[in-house]
Amino acid sequence: MLELTHLEMTPKERLAAYACGEEVDRIPTTLSAGETGCLEMLGIPICDYYFSSDVMVEIESYLADHTGADNLGMGLGLRTLAEALGAKMAYPCESVSYVDEPGLASLDEVEGRDIVDIHKDGRFPIVVEAFKRLADKYGEVRNLGSGLAGPLTTATNLYGTERFLKATRKDPEGAHRLLRYTTECVIACCKDFHDLFGFGFSLSEPIASKDLLSKKQFDEFFVPYLRECVERMSAFQGGVPLHICGHT
């Protein structure tokens, strides 16, 4: 990394001071490599990233050591939680993963399902291992962080977007039952990571865009569950950033 100026603060100190409105040695910079960064920056196939804590750590270390970015950590993306809950994924080598087969054939299957366990379900153990190694390597000077899909987007990944949107009209009780389940799983996932590493999560909800939902659907099937996530997550991590793609 070419250092143009002498930096007096660590990334952790810089972000903390900036958040309090205090003077910093430079404006904090955050970068995200995510799934595609391994191919673009290091020539590593994207499909390798998903199943290797070594590659995850290599990408984040590259950002830390060669770009000077102040942030650090792997986002869980839109599908990691859904996969852990039973969705079948496809993993192209030069593109991001996608849901190949939803995890639920019927909304009746929601009853009695276990809440996600990040220590054993899906690819979560790989991600947990990567965060452990990053915390050991950089934890003294850098803040870790992550993000994942919220309850609505996770629900559509589990049941299929078109089928779920139809269910909001034809089987609203079943749609709410699934959203109740995904809400509990989102919160449990974030709480378990926070207990292990002390960092907070942002939420992404592309399905909440008004390109897909009517105002009535938005108010009934999105807002209550988002509000619950924010209230319960704020109790252990503070504020909860939200991103919604499209027109919102």
Task: List Cα–Cα distances, 143 to 39, 40, 50, 72, 137, in angstroms.
Answer: 25, 24, 22, 6, 12
**pLDDT > 70? residue 248:** no
Closest-CA residue to 40 (of 94, 107, 118): 94
60: how many CB neighbours lie within 10 A of its CB? Answer: 25
Closest-CA residue to 150 (of 82, 71, 231): 82
**pLDDT > 50? residue 2:** no
86 φ/ψ angles, rounded to the nearest 5 degrees: 125, -10
The average confidence (pLDDT) of the chain is 92
What is the pLDDT at residue 30?
A: 84
What is the pLDDT at residue 94?
A: 85
pLDDT digits (tens, 9 = 90+) for 64-123: 888 888 888 888 989 999 999 999 999 998 888 999 999 999 999 999 999 999 999 999
20: how many CB neighbours lie within 10 A of its CB? Answer: 8
Q: Are strands 71-72 and 201-204 parallel, antiparallel or unpaired?
A: unpaired
What is the pLDDT at residue 247?
A: 74
What pTM value is reported for the model?
0.92
pLDDT digits (tens, 9 = 90+) for 190-240: 999 999 999 999 999 999 999 999 999 999 999 999 999 999 999 999 999
139: how many CB neighbours lie within 10 A of its CB? Answer: 16
